[in-house]
Amino acid sequence: MFPFIERLILFLIAISVIRSVIRFVTGLGGRLSQNRSPMNRSAGTQGTTMLQQDPVCGTYVAIDASLKTIVNGKVVHFCSPECRDKYRAA
């Protein structure tokens, strides 16, 4: 019984080490891409996305990908046509 527990513990330690190495390598790749010079970036790219909350379901949606409707002179952002239609019906 004890050899089984030893193997299980060694297996869990090995998995943990592998996950740590993968996280380190992927994090290193992300840091390297952030250190590129501004000349390599396309114009207008800021690296952030503005989010707005859908007033019907509460989902946060990217402004660029949202469905927009103007209500009383204010732009309202929706995640789907269903939410937009529910908002209009209310």
Q: How many helices (H) and strands (E) does the chain have?
A: 2, 4
Two tokens, residue 58: 């509460």
Cα 24 off chain centre by: 19
**What are 68's strand-pairing partners?**
77
Two tokens, residue 64: 């660029």
How is the chain split into domains, by residue range?
Answer: 2-40, 51-89
Name the phi and psi angles at 78, rounded to 5.
-125, 150
pLDDT band at 3 (very low <50, low <70, confident <90, very high): confident
pTM above 0.75, yes or no: no
Q: Quick: pLDDT tens for 47-83.
A: 567 899 999 999 899 988 888 988 889 999 999 999 9
Two tokens, residue 42: 């396309």
Two tokens, residue 63: 């402004």
